[in-house]
């Protein structure tokens, strides 16, 4: 498993009975987690002194309960600063486990010794975009949500990357890739974090089990003659890391290189265990 274990401003303190207790900077949140199917004693005082608690509804969805939590605050990871706020579906605007991937590809970008063009698809609030830009890459950031792209720009400003070579685009990822192929554009590295299900700006439907393999095949056409890496993230339950390995290897085997997929995770302070948080597949030269 690839573990994001270099955080100072974030911590999974404890897990029990379908929930996790997390520290986000100075604030404690309790949020549901489908992987936490064990019921262990909640001895840490943070369970009672939480600043926010997202309650899952038996009818689907849920709602936040707040105890002295600001509407927005920020945390840092190295030179990067992320603005957080609780919003629907329990999220805060950041997936801390992805730092395991940020560290991996940042090292590759810095070691490349040449200009690196990165395409970040389904790019959300820009964690991977900022990590790649901070490592010296020029980045094209694509997401179908205007609100998420705006949030990503705010994170860039907070991280001192307002003037970094980042192209911000609100677009359907599949249609964007198709246009880039027609335009003859190429990228040295591609990052994608596709949802299990989603809709584009004009109602385009994305279902990962139907769309992911054709999409990887499509994106492979955008790689430059000397590509650096290809990264696929998945939070879809049931999509095993081995499946990501097969999908990536099938489309990139002609390039040589290596393919590896693993679960990604976060250390739990109280138990010493690693909480699994999805999977990532990596190809690199």
Residue with tokens 């109602």: 203
Model pTM greater than 0.75?
yes
- The beta strand positions in 209-273, using DSSP E, are 229-234, 258-267
User: Rounded to an integer, what distance in angstroms lies between the CA atom of residue 188 and that of residue 41?
Assistant: 48
Same fold, 7-84 and 97-284: no
Convert the pLDDT of each residue in 30-42 to its tens digit: 999 999 999 999 9
Residue with tokens 């992320």: 82
Residue with tokens 């997202």: 54
Looking at residue 238, its pLDDT comes to 73
Looking at residue 201, its pLDDT comes to 62
pLDDT in single tens digits along all 285 residues of the chain = 999 999 999 999 999 999 999 999 999 999 999 999 999 999 999 999 999 999 998 887 899 999 999 999 999 999 999 999 998 789 999 999 999 999 999 999 999 999 999 999 999 999 999 999 999 999 999 999 999 999 999 999 999 999 999 999 999 999 999 999 999 999 999 999 998 887 766 777 778 888 899 999 999 999 999 999 999 999 887 788 999 999 999 999 999 999 999 999 999 999 999 999 999 999 999
Looking at residue 188, its pLDDT comes to 98
Looking at residue 231, its pLDDT comes to 98
Q: Which residue in 135, 142, 141 sits closest to 159, CA to CA?
A: 135
Q: Which residue in 85, 95, 94 sits closest to 52, CA to CA?
A: 85
Looking at residue 207, its pLDDT comes to 81
User: Rounded to an integer, what distance in angstroms lies between the CA atom of residue 22 and that of residue 100?
Assistant: 18
Domain boundaries in the chain?
Answer: 7-84, 97-284
State in words which class domain 97-284 has: alpha beta
Q: Which residue in 75, 135, 124, 76 sits closest to 102, CA to CA?
A: 135
Helical axes 208-220 vs 173-183, angle rounded to 10°: 20
Looking at residue 196, its pLDDT comes to 82
Convert the pLDDT of each residue in 164-209 to its tens digit: 999 999 999 999 999 999 999 999 999 999 988 877 667 777 788 8
Give domain 7-84's CATH superfamily.
Golgi alpha-mannosidase II (2.60.40.1180)
């Amino acid at each position: 498993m690839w573990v994001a274990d270099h955080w100072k401003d974030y911590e999974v303190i404890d897990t029990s009975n379908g929930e996790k207790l997390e520290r986000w900077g100075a604030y404690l949140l309790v949020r549901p987690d489908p992987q936490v199917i064990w019921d262990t004693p909640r001895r840490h005082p943070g369970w009672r002194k939480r600043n926010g608690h997202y309650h899952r509804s038996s009818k689907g969805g849920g709602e936040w309960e707040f105890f002295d939590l600001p509407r927005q605050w920020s945390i840092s990871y190295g030179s990067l600063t992320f603005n957080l706020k609780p919003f629907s579906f329990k999220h805060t605007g950041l997936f801390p486990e992805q730092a395991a991937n940020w560290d991996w590809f940042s090292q590759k970008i810095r070691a490349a010794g040449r200009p690196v063009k990165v395409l970040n698809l389904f790019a959300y609030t820009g964690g991977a975009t900022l990590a790649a830009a901070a490592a010296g890459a020029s980045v094209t950031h694509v997401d179908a949500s205007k609100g998420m792209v705006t949030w990503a720009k705010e994170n860039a400003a907070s991280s001192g990357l307002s003037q970094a070579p980042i192209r911000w685009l609100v677009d359907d990822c599949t249609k964007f890739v198709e246009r880039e192929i027609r335009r003859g554009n190429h990228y040295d590295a591609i990052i994608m974090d596709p949802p299990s299900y989603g809709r584009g700006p004009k109602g385009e439907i994305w279902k990962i089990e139907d769309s992911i393999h054709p999409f990887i095949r499509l994106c492979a056409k955008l790689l430059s003659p000397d590509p650096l890496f290809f990264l696929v993230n998945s939070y879809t339950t049931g999509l095993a890391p081995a499946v990501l390995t097969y999908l990536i290897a099938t489309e990139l085997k002609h390039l040589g290189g290596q393919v590896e997929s693993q679960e990604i995770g976060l250390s739990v302070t109280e138990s010493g265990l690693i909480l699994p948080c999805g999977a990532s597949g990596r190809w690199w030269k």
